[in-house]
Structure 1
Amino acid sequence: MARVLVTRPAPAADRSAERYRAAGHQVHVAPLLAFAPLDPGPGALPPADSLAAIAVTSARGIEAAVPFLSPAHYALPLHAVGEATARAARAVGFADTHAAEGDLIALAAALRAAIPSGGEVLHLAGRDRSGDLAALLQDAGIGCRLVELYAMEPVGHLPEDVRAALSDGTDPVLAPVYSRRSAQALADVLAAWGDRPPFRFLAISAEAGEPLTGLGPVDLAKTPDEAGLMALLPR
């Protein structure tokens, strides 16, 4: 049994914690990023008839976009960064959904294959992003309209009860990280925790794990999804 710290934002943190507990691990939950919707203003989303598709890089982008989408937007093809985001899109009413292989490069490749030159994609996104989808589509002649709909604000600390529980033991704490942004939030918290226990990080990708370099070993998942992270846990 391993000690696992889940710091991804709620409600995903609770779903992940249940999976780790079901696998027999001791789990502590402490989201380090908090969801904050942004108001894009009137007319921020272009009309559906000017678009070839919608692109989404997180389920939170779907959640934040719902108040601003028209029925015609729901009829457009939606390309999601991965299957979890595609499921979130289907849950709110998108029927024509396509899941990429879990990162921005794969999403861009899927869009380049599906959208003819001259088409425009609406990117429903957060304020803080680790890549530039528009730049990845530019040389294919595909336009990309970015609309920022939410922010993930750093919490800045671990709850005292979680710190105390993690400090009570000598085995390394295993911390799965799902994005570069969440990894940076964790790195900032750990850098300020002088007497922290040893940590081992499980990163969904090399980019996600990079902020944690120097704070403990970083193991990379073989697949960019939660199953890949769970495969890194001791059995």
Structure 2
Amino acid sequence: MSRVLVTRPAGQGEALAARLRAAGHEPLLVPALRIEPLPLSGDHRRRLLDLDLYHAVFFVSANAARHALDAMADLWPQWPVGLHWLAVGESTAAEIRRAGLAPEYPRSGFNSEAVLALPCLADVAGKRILICRGDGGRDWLAARLRERDATVDVIPFYRRLPAPDRHCPDDIDTVMITSVEGWRALAGRIPARARVIAAGERVAAAVAADHAGPVVTAASAHDTDMLAALPG
């Protein structure tokens, strides 16, 4: 049995912790980040009022879907029809379903590259795409869609801040990191001997630059992939 630090934001790590416990590990939930909603600017509000003019809306995370859909519901008593509601993975798709909408998302990969391969994004020339994300998020997908001659709008709905009570016990065996921001919040607090499981190559590269101990790259931030990267 190993002690595993789960660093997802508050309220978002319980499912992973339950799976770790069922697999014989001892999970410890210590959020690295806290999520703070951002107010809508006048320009962003106007874009949401034009929601029915978009071809697709992409939510980069469950946090993005939760905060964006709440903001949209305040402006749209009935959802516009004909839009593609895109998610990066199952947890984000679940938030879309809770709003009564049908999500489209990759069944593997769980990243922007996999989302770009969705059929509804194959021919987007002249179409409008809305990306809902956190402040300072990755611009890769927006750049690729613009290369395909789409008009892309990006609205940040929240920001991630270091959690005030973040810490890492000295006797922890493994730390699970799902974002570069989460790593930055914890870097320097993790014992050098601890194994770090990083969600994807970009996060793993950020961890490896600062951490002297072993770094394992999970296929994605999906719970199944994070669990699969943990040695038995």
**Pairwise same-fold verdict (TM > 0.5):** yes
Contact 1:53/1:77, CA 8 A, preserved across alignment: yes
Query: Counterpart of 2:51?
Result: 48
Q: 1:232 aligns with which of 223, 229, 232?
A: 229
Quick check: 86-95 or 102-111, which moved more? Answer: 102-111
* Structure 2 counterpart of 1:14: 14
Partner residue, 1:131 = 139
Runs of 4+ in 1 over 6 A off after TM superposition: none
SS at match of 2:13: helix
Q: Which moved more, 1:215-224 or 1:25-34?
A: 215-224
Letter in 2 for 1:234: P
| Mapped contact 1:180–1:210 kept (Cα < 8 A) | no
Residue 183 (structure 1) shift: 2.2
Q: Secondary structure at the match of 1:121?
A: strand
Q: Distance in 2 between matches of 1:78 and 1:124?
A: 11
Aligned length: 221
Whether the 8 Å CA contact 2:166–2:186 is kept in 1: the answer is no
Sort the Cα spacing of 1:105 and 1:188 in 2 relative to 1 into closer, same or farther, 3 A: farther
Provide the secondary structure at the position in 2 that maps to 1:35: strand
Do the aligned residues in 1 keep the contact of 2:218 with 2:225 (CA within 8 Å)?
Answer: yes
Q: Deviations over 1:12-65 (max 9, x none)?
A: 122221221121111111101001001113424241231111011101011111
Equivalence for 1:141? 149
Shift of 1:73: 4.3
Conserved in 2, the CA contact under 8 Å of 1:52 and 1:121? Answer: yes
Percent identity of paired positions between Structure 1 and Structure 2: 28
Q: 1:7 to 1:202 in 2, by over 3 A?
A: same
RMSD: 2.2
Unaligned runs of 5+ in 1: 191-195
**Equivalent position of 1:98 in the other structure:** 104
Moved more, 128-137 or 20-29: 128-137
1:82 aligns with 2:89: yes
Q: Structure 1 length as normaliser, TM-score?
A: 0.84
* Partners of 1:157 and 1:189 within 8 A in 2: no
Partner residue of 2:198 out of 180, 197, 203: 203
Counterpart of 2:186 in structure 1 is: 186
Cα separation, 1, equivalents of 2:226 and 2:164 = 24
